Structure 1
Amino acid sequence: MSDAGGQTTDDDVAVAAASDGLRVLFVDNFDSFTYNLVEYVEEALLASSDHANSDDSEDVRGHTETKVVRNTASIDEIRAFDPDAVIISPGPGHPKNDRDVGVTMDVLRDLSPDVPTLGVCLGLEAAVYAYGGTVGRAPDPIHGKASSIDHDETGVFAGLDQGLRGGRYHSLVATEVPECFEVTATAEHGDEELVMGIRHREHPIECVQFHPESVLTSAGHDIIENFLSTVQ
């Protein structure tokens, strides 16, 4: 993990296997859930590798490097890793504040148009804000509640049941989604429908407001696997 000063240390780099295979980079917005996401990704990649080996075939996911960088890193540091996929973690704060999101905004604007990107919670809010939308207060702050998620059954939701449970930990929501994104998932909150998922219409960017890596989410591993299946 990173040191208390927020500097990237050697412990920020988790290597599943040293090779020139798939490279997955995590932007850590100083959140305790970040390494849960890393664990889910590494489990999915290991399962994919085991399946490929059982079929006596080659799978690039069997040779994977995952790296975690704090949002205090520079976009040049992130480009130097040359990621095949990016996952933007949850975190405290508001995407309008540079101190809360750091390099996240540069990643979304400059790297994500070409590199498959999954945003989680603050990652969704940052994507909305980066592309011209608005983010505001949720009707009620939610910290540790499973809600029924209605979704479009494609992208990260492919093959998943309607009404899956999504673990929610947020006090902000997307209040105006930019036209370049389509809303892919919602949850009812009283008389309102809150945005729980978005997908860019042209770029390989997909985001969820709930936490797939939470034990409260019923299909979290499937969501991660669906995202990884889009990575070439």
Structure 2
Amino acid sequence: MLSIIPALLVLEDKSVYKGWSLNEPGLVAMGEIVFNTGMTGYQEVLTDPSYTGQIITFSYPELGNTGINLEDFESSYPHVRGVIVKNLCTIPSNFRATQTLLEYFQKNNIVVIYGIDTRRLIKNLRQAGSMNGYISTDLFKLNDLLSPLKTIPSMQGLNLVQEVTTSFNYSWKGNQYYDWLQKNVKSYQMRRKHYKIIVIDFGVKRNILRRLSNYGCSIIVLSATATVQEILSFKPDGIFLSNGPGDPASVMNGIVTVKNLLSMNIAIPIFGICMGHQILSLALGAKTFKLKFGHHGLNHPAGLVKRTEVTSQNHGFAVDSKTLPPNLIKITHLNLNDFTVAGICHRYQPYFSVQYHPEAGPGPHDAEYLFDHFVKLIRIFKKNLATTIKKL
């Protein structure tokens, strides 16, 4: 029988929210409090490495209706510190479910608080901005509600990539084909034209690896600490810079590595997503800044010049458009909610990146074409290289 116990959510602006928990008593979760506006995909959110160090508030009023399945994990374990939700469903109804969401929380020691007014909380976060906080089921020891907040580090300046990047190099062998993908994805598979992609793992989602694989790429995943020499030793046809958590400006080894790659003027296409977009921009001389409450959801419009995509986004930092070198970089996309930079490309080299998730796990599929664009760039540059060598 489930045991319901009281719980508290405390924020650094001294606001306190009283709720309930089905966790064991005596648990505490600390981190940056952010909110996600998605109506679906909570399993992908929980296992997205980009949420490392954060406590997620779900704006959708009920969580757990579809349970947990074996297919939708974005990594091998959950990365969120805690979960805030209005209502928690303990009896899921979905043919793919293998366990309830509550069982998943308990198995992975994820602290959850429910029964609070999440609309009031999200309004607070939108007005005051994302802030540190904690969830506690250990109420008897909380003589001073604010003292635990002093131990939580600021997200600004925090390098969390080192917590999630792979500790060893590996080849991605997984491959899935989804019916909603474009037909040209299937043609790439049928032609068996495999391109070797090096993925720099800043906290990569599995769905990115699945998409690259679906587009006819063989994939080798390297740590965020990989050197230029190590990357080039694999003779890659393309280089992918993944998503990841924390402050991008603090990931100095990744920035230096990409900067060194760019300085070599090698004709190898580079594609970055989210953290990868920020790392590429920083390597090109731009600066990043922390957003007030970040972009976390599945319905963010992005585009430029009469073209709009509905995109899945998850990031707390953005690239400062004023610091991008206009002689080298073209802005290709803007977030149409706040007009921050959502995509760039190099004017003379095959480098491009976006500040959203075209792999859409979960989310819309408007930006799927970016993977096709990446593969086409690789094919063009390989063909040009072969022609040049032949002429020599």
Structure 1-normalised TM-score? 0.74
After TM superposition, give the deviation of residue 221 of structure 1 in Å: 2.6
CA distance in 1: counterparts of 2:301 and 2:165, whole angstroms:
38
Residue in 1 that maps onto 2:287: 134
- Listed as ranges, the matches of 1:83-122 within 5 Å are 83-98=236-251, 101=254, 104-106=257-259, 108-110=261-263, 113-122=266-275
State whether structure 2 residue 223 is matched by structure 1 residue 67. Answer: no
- Secondary structure at 1:144 match in 2: strand
Count of matched residue positions in the alignment of Structure 1 and Structure 2: 199
Of 1, 7, 13, which aligns to 2:171? 13
After TM superposition, give the deviation of residue 218 of structure 1 in Å: 2.3
Of 334, 342, 366, which aligns to 1:196? 342
Identity of aligned residues (%): 21
After TM superposition, give the deviation of residue 76 of structure 1 in Å: 1.4
State whether structure 2 residue 341 is matched by structure 1 residue 183. Answer: no
CA contact (8 A) 1:112 1:204 kept: no
Taking a change above 3 Å as real, the CA distance of residues 104 and 170 of structure 1, as seen in their structure-2 partners, is farther
Out of 174-183 and 102-111, give the one that drifted further.
Answer: 102-111
Instruction: State the Cα deviation string for residues 183-204 of structure 1 (Å, max 9, x = none).
Output: 0011223xx4111110001111
Q: What is the one-letter code of the residue matched to 2:329? A: F
After TM superposition, give the deviation of residue 24 of structure 1 in Å: 1.1
State whether structure 2 residue 42 is matched by structure 1 residue 42. Answer: no
CA distance in 2: counterparts of 1:111 and 1:211, whole angstroms:
28
After TM superposition, give the deviation of residue 138 of structure 1 in Å: 1.8
Taking a change above 3 Å as real, the CA distance of residues 120 and 149 of structure 1, as seen in their structure-2 partners, is same
Unpaired runs of at least 5, structure 2 = 1-74, 77-162, 176-188, 380-392
CA distance in 2: counterparts of 1:183 and 1:124, whole angstroms:
12
CA distance in 1: counterparts of 2:263 and 2:199, whole angstroms:
16
Q: What is the one-letter code of the residue matched to 2:279? A: A
After TM superposition, give the deviation of residue 29 of structure 1 in Å: 0.3
After TM superposition, give the deviation of residue 36 of structure 1 in Å: 1.3
CA distance in 1: counterparts of 2:260 and 2:299, whole angstroms:
29
Instruction: State the Cα deviation string for residues 30-87 of structure 1 (Å, max 9, x = none).
Output: 24x2x21110011122xxxxxxxxxxxxxxxxxx521111112222111111111111
Unpaired runs of at least 5, structure 1 = 46-63, 154-161
CA contact (8 A) 2:224 2:254 kept: yes
Q: What is the one-letter code of the residue matched to 1:7? A: S
Q: What is the one-letter code of the residue matched to 2:313? A: R
Residue in 1 that maps onto 2:198: 25
Instruction: State the Cα deviation string for residues 126-153 of structure 1 (Å, max 9, x = none).
Output: 1111111111112321223421111369
Greater RCO, CA 8 A, separation 6+: 1
CA distance in 2: counterparts of 1:105 and 1:76, whole angstroms:
12
Residue in 2 that maps onto 1:225: 372
After TM superposition, give the deviation of residue 8 of structure 1 in Å: 1.2
Taking a change above 3 Å as real, the CA distance of residues 84 and 181 of structure 1, as seen in their structure-2 partners, is same
- Listed as ranges, the matches of 1:140-159 within 5 Å are 140-151=293-304
Taking a change above 3 Å as real, the CA distance of residues 165 and 112 of structure 1, as seen in their structure-2 partners, is farther
Q: What is the one-letter code of the residue matched to 2:168? A: T
CA distance in 1: counterparts of 2:234 and 2:292, whole angstroms:
39
Structure with the greater alpha carbon radius of gyration: 2
Aligned Cα RMSD in Å? 3.0
Taking a change above 3 Å as real, the CA distance of residues 148 and 112 of structure 1, as seen in their structure-2 partners, is farther
Structure 2-normalised TM-score? 0.46
Taking a change above 3 Å as real, the CA distance of residues 152 and 71 of structure 1, as seen in their structure-2 partners, is farther
- Secondary structure at 1:96 match in 2: helix
Q: What is the one-letter code of the residue matched to 1:136? A: F
Taking a change above 3 Å as real, the CA distance of residues 25 and 103 of structure 1, as seen in their structure-2 partners, is farther
Residue in 1 that maps onto 2:363: 216
After TM superposition, give the deviation of residue 113 of structure 1 in Å: 4.6
CA distance in 2: counterparts of 1:171 and 1:119, whole angstroms:
16
After TM superposition, give the deviation of residue 207 of structure 1 in Å: 0.4
State whether structure 2 residue 309 is matched by structure 1 residue 164. Answer: yes
CA contact (8 A) 2:272 2:354 kept: yes
